[in-house]
Amino acid sequence: MSGSEQISLFDCPRLVAKKVLAKPQREGDGAVVRRSIGRPELKYVDPFLMLDEFTVSPPAGFPDHPHRGFETVTYMLQGAFTHQDFAGHKGTIRTGDVQWMTAGRGIIHSEMPAGDGAQRGLQLWINLASKDKMIEPRYQELLSEDIAKAEKDGVEVRVIAGEAMGVQSPVYTRTPTMYLDFTLKPGAQLHQSIPESWNSFVYLIEGEGVFASFNSSPVTAHHVLVMGPGDGLSVWNKSSKPLRFVLIGGQPLGEPVVQYGPFVMNTQAEIEQTIEDYQHSKNGFEMAKYWRSQSLG
């Protein structure tokens, strides 16, 4: 391989600052998730609160539960999930589809598998700035066929948020975010620029890849790599199988984070207010009093 293929194209390439293996754990009602961000050794990558790779087979799932103060992004890798919430919003996302939910001041919803066998996907939690935490909830849904795609030199990208390889996602990101799903054929390489002020990380879905510097050790599936500062990321697939990973980056908020389960605010007092609002069905949780999700069986 020539020298030019071995070096990064960036003035200041991003290096791996931290590597963590996401181990399976139980969540919800009988569901199994591999949590990468949001575990004790990797609490928070501002503005990202959590990343789970979930594998759920009926009757397991995530029954009625609340959120406040952030966004959830659900990306189906295999199978289908049905979502219902207390505002009457219902929908099923299937393989390759994305639901971008801004919980804002309050939502109660259920997320349950919509097919037999294992349903698999990624769920990312993105923090909201203090000024946005109490906005009205909203949704953006992208069907698989509507996700911007590009392919060149053995690299394929699906642009869920942000821009890559000359294509752009229509998703509006209240907290500026990039969410890119890359597949590299054997022998392919990628050089993806990232805004310098942003934090970024990689999560490996399948295969193995060499990240940041050509001579570093290959990294395998279910690892998260938190990238250090710089202007871009270089990746090489030296293996004989395809490499698939997501590259996620965002503008850090630089605000205090106080989390209590599914509530994320800036102060302990705001968390206590949220718990009171939820328990008494007020300030955004009014519809909680009478709503229960419908059985999908």
User: Is 109 annotated as contributing to ligand binding?
Assistant: yes
Q: Which two tokens stand for residue 8?
A: 């990064």
Residue with tokens 């791996």: 16
Contact 80, 114 (CB under 8 A): yes
User: Is 191 annotated as contributing to ligand binding?
Assistant: no
Q: CA dist 160 to 43, 57, 270, 275, Å?
A: 24, 25, 32, 33
User: Is 83 annotated as contributing to ligand binding?
Assistant: no
Phi, psi of 267 (to 5 degrees): -140, 160
Q: CA dist 146 to 149, 160, 219, Å?
A: 9, 10, 31
User: Is 280 annotated as contributing to ligand binding?
Assistant: no
Q: Which two tokens stand for residue 49?
A: 């609160």
Cα torsion angle, 195, 208, 244, 246, sign: negative
Ramachandran bin of 261, using left for φ above 0, alpha for ψ from -120 to 50, beta for the remaining angles: left
Q: Specify binding-site residues.
A: 65, 67, 109, 111
Q: Specify binding-site residues for Fe cation.
A: 65, 67, 109, 111
